[in-house]
Each structure stands twice: as C-alpha cells, then as structure tokens.
Chains A and B, each alone.
Chain A
Amino acid sequence: GNSVTQMEGPVTLSEEAFLTINCTYTATGYPSLFWYVQYPGEGLQLLLKATKADDKGSNKGFEATYRKETTSFHLEKGSVQVSDSAVYFCALSDVNDYKLSFGAGTTVTVRA
C-alpha cells in the first residue's frame, strides 16, 4: 500500500537558517506528491505539489522536487522566517487526489 515517511521533529531553527524536511514515499504506480502546512490555530493548507517525476513544486520560498529514483520529495527553504513556524505534512495520492496518504507531520519552530 501507499505510505509516507517524513523527518521526525520537532525542528528548531534561527531566523534566516536553511530548512530541509525529508520525505520519502512508497507507492504503487505514479503518485502525485504534496506538502501541506498547518499554521497555529488554522487548518491544513496546500503549500505545493508535483504530479510527475522531476517536477518541482514551489510556493512562498519553499521548494520540493519529485525524485522518482530515490522516491523522495524533500521540502527546502533557503532562509526561514518566524512566520514559517508551523507543522508540515508530506502527502501522496495515486488514483484519486482526495485520497491522500500523509506523513506524521514535522513541527518547525523558527526563533527570532
């Protein structure tokens, strides 16, 4: 079956530091890959997505590249801000975009 494994948290960084959250997946077929973010007091929202191998999703300074050879979709941001403090979820879907399989989430705290 489908599964997603992402880096355990919590992660604490200083402002302007480089952030990487690792995500690897197991899936049959060719899934679409997603990163969702949950800011404090809010629901999960889509951060970025990629639908095929070598696609790069990007949004708000975050990037992730769909790597089929390593079954990975690592999230990166070059210079984080305090406002990036949130829980980040990696997810995949194969047949139907609504039937997502999520990782456990990584809590990121950015200190000023």
Chain B
Amino acid sequence: NAGVMQNPRHLVRRRGQEARLRCSPVKGHSHVYWYRQLPEEGLKFMVYLQKENIIDESGMPKERFSAEFPKEGPSILRIQQVVRGDSAAYFCASSPPSTGELFFGEGSRLTVL
C-alpha cells in the first residue's frame, strides 16, 4: 500500500545546474500538488496539477521553475539554473478525485552549493 513516493530524497547541485524532483502519487490519485519549505518556515503551496494539466500555479516562481504531470509516469518539478536560495525541502502531495484530503510524501531536500 505505497504512499506518495518522492525521489531523490536528497539532491546536491552547484549553482547554475538543473534540479529535477520526481513524485509518484498514491495509486489511483489523479491530483498532485507541490509545496516548498524554506529553512525555518512552513510549507508553501507551489502548484496543483492533474494529468497533463496545470490547474493552479499561483505559488510557482515566475522564472526557472516548471512542473508537469504527464499521462504516464511521475510528476516532475524542474528547477533550472539553481541558486542558493532554492535550497529547501520540496514536498509532493496527492489526493483522490473524490475528497480533498492531501497525502504527502517524505520530501526531497535540495542543497545548492
């Protein structure tokens, strides 16, 4: 009975590189959400996706960040040309179509050197 699976759990990148974070939702869940937790802060909403559609990206930085949830495969959060300020824990959550309850993964911790 797998929950939300995120990988990698830890990722280290140098400034200017790209970071790709993957999220496999709970089986049967068609809605995926990404949150970011900066050091000493609470989680902040970034984006809400359904299969092949971005529903709400109001929390996404305007540049360098993108997210997708393709028909097949995991959801991907992509950060281009990373900067030190991107260092954070990135949490993915999923929910079934019928209820609003979110199920979160363990998070992926990105460190930018």
Contact = CB atoms under 8 A, between A and B. Distances in A.
Query: Is A bound to B?
Result: yes
Interface of A: 4, 36, 38, 41-46, 89, 91, 96-105
Contacts of B105: 43
A89 B105 CA distance: 14
B106 interface: yes
B101 A41 contact: no
A50 B93 CA distance: 20
Given A97-B100, A98-B100, A41 B106 contact: yes
A45 B104 CA distance: 6
B42 A4 contact: yes
Interface residues of B, number: 27
Given A98-B33, A98-B48, A104 B40 contact: yes
A34 B85 CA distance: 28
B10 interface: no
22 contacts: A41-B106, A42-B3, A42-B106, A43-B103, A43-B105, A43-B107, A44-B43, A44-B91, A46-B102, A89-B43, A97-B102, A98-B33, A98-B45, A98-B56, A98-B93, A99-B48, A99-B56, A99-B59, A101-B44, A104-B40, A104-B41, A105-B42
B24 interface: no
Contacts of B93: 43-44, 98
Given A43-B4, A43-B103, A43-B106, A98 B31 contact: yes
Contacts of B111: none
Contacts of B37: 102
B56 to A, nearest CB: 7
A99 B45 contact: yes
Contacts of A91: 42-43
